[in-house]
Structures are given as C-alpha cells and as structure tokens.
Structure 1
C-alpha cells in the first residue's frame, strides 16, 4: 500500500531533520555521469544494486523505483541541471515510517573525472530516523559500491 509523503521543495535538502551525505569520485566526466543518472533511469539496476527496477514516468518528470526488499517509490524530479545536479522527491512510498524524502546527486569536476555527492534528506517517525542513523554505514557502502559499479560501467561504454 502506497503512503503519500509530504511534498517538499529543494530547500529541504538543507532543512531536513536528517541528512546523510556521501561522496566518491569516478573517472568519467560530469556530462557522462549526468546522462547515466538522469537520462538512463532504466539502467540504474545495472550499477546500483539496491535498485531492482526503475523507469521514468510522466514524460520524464517522474520516476518509479523498485528497491531490493520490495519497497516501491514514486518520485518527482525537482532539479535536472546537466553536469551539475539531479534531485528528486519521493511522493509515495510503500515503506512505513518516512514522512518526507528528497535525494540529490551533485556532480563536480575533479581532474578529468567527477566528484559525485549523494545527499539523502529525510523526515519521518522517530523509529524511521533512528533506523536511518543506524543504517548510515550500510547506506554509505551501498553508495560507494554503486559509484564504483557506475565508474566501471561508464569506462566500459567507451566514454
């Protein structure tokens, strides 16, 4: 059963009660990384192993993401700035606990590659926030693994 989350704007990335921020570098340039994030939504399961399936919705203005474990998220794209950032809000979630979620992927040139920063901004029940804090190391590992996989995938595509 889908639960409607609170509609938040871009400023939630700074004001959220809980913010988890992770960063890593890839060898591909920002434009290539951005295309993998924003233009190849269906390709996310090929590099982010927590994602079982992803597809664009609403002519690219939204996404539906199915995570390992069965959680389904319906999202709205809030910012799609080529080579710089890709930000989306979760509008509906099948998971209990979250009240508001926003994720932002920031891309910054780093030598000939890209520094990728992922911010997970959240509000929810006390139990949900506690679980996220407790799960922070695992989320960090999942992010680092995903970025490593993305780096290998992009290197293999001849970019």
Structure 2
C-alpha cells in the first residue's frame, strides 16, 4: 500500500538519522553524468541494476524497482553539472518516513567523482535493517555507476 512520506528539504541530507554515503570515480565527464541523472530519466533502467522503469513527471520522477517497490519523487536540486537530488514523496516501501537521495559530481582525473548520499528516516525496524544493508547499497551503487560509465563511453558525446 502506497503512502505519503514526510516532505523534507535538501537540508535533510545532512541531518537525517540514517545517512549512507558512497563515492566512486569514473571516466565520463561531469556534464555527461549529470545529463544521465537529471535528463535521461528512462535511461536509469538501463544502468541502475535495481530500477525496472523510470519516467519523468512534471516535478520529478516515478520509479519502479525489482520486487515491486515504487517511488514518486520530487526533484529538490538540479544544478548542472554538480548536484542532482530528489525526495521520495510516496512509496509502498515499509517503515520509511522520509527519504532523500543526493548525487554530487566533481571533476576528477579527466572524469568524474560521483558521490551518492542516501538519507533516510523510518521506524525502528527500518533503521535497524538499513544500517547493515550498507554493503548491499554500496555494491548496487558501484555496479550502477560502472554501468553508467560504460553506457556513456559507448554513447555519442
């Protein structure tokens, strides 16, 4: 059953009860990475392993994951080519109360340092499960940005 989450702002990224932060360097330049994140919403299903579909909406996106989890999101920041962030407004994921994801891009050795912060709040069970899930989320992030890098290397530029 889908339900509405607490409408937090971008500052939640720094103050969330659970913050999982990951980073990886890839060879694609920041402007191409930003375009893939912010403008090519349907393309997420091509490079993010758990995304089965993503489509833009007037204020954000609708995303579906393997297993049936759904998100309705609002874009909080789209500052090319450095920051792309969104808040989950509605989801069927259990236990979550607030969720913001922020992507930070910076030039690095001819490519991009991609940083991803997963900032969340939820009930005690959600928080207890999320902290040990860090390894799986980190692996998913690494697989996603590596796949994105390969995808961008094959795309005209």
Task: Give the alignment of 1:81-100 within 5 angstroms.
Answer: 81-100=79-98
- Cα distance in 1 between the residues matched to 2:141 and 2:67: 17
Query: Which ranges of structure 2 fall in alignment gaps of 5 or more residues?
Result: none
Deviation string for 1:28-54 (max 9, x for gaps)?
Answer: 110000000000000001000110100
Residue number in structure 2 paired with 1:134? 132
Deviation string for 1:43-92 (max 9, x for gaps)?
Answer: 0010001101000001xx21000011100000000000011010000000
Once superposed, what is the RMSD of the aligned Cα atoms? 0.7
Task: Give the alignment of 1:62-77 within 5 angstroms.
Answer: 62-77=60-75
Task: Give the alignment of 1:52-67 within 5 angstroms.
Answer: 52-58=52-58, 61-67=59-65
Residue number in structure 1 paired with 2:105? 107
- Cα distance in 2 between the residues matched to 1:32 and 1:95: 31
Residue number in structure 2 paired with 1:49? 49
Question: Which residue of 108, 124, 128 maps to 2:122?
Answer: 124
Residue number in structure 1 paired with 2:27? 27
Q: CA deviation at 1:158?
A: 3.4
TM-score, length-scaled by structure 1? 0.97
- Cα distance in 2 between the residues matched to 1:92 and 1:84: 26
- Cα distance in 1 between the residues matched to 2:155 and 2:3: 38
SS across alignment from 2:78: strand
SS across alignment from 1:34: helix
Residue number in structure 1 paired with 2:4? 4
Q: CA deviation at 1:152?
A: 0.3
* Match status 1:37 vs 2:37: yes
Q: CA deviation at 1:3?
A: 0.9
- Cα distance in 2 between the residues matched to 1:54 and 1:132: 23
Residue number in structure 1 paired with 2:142? 144
SS across alignment from 1:134: coil
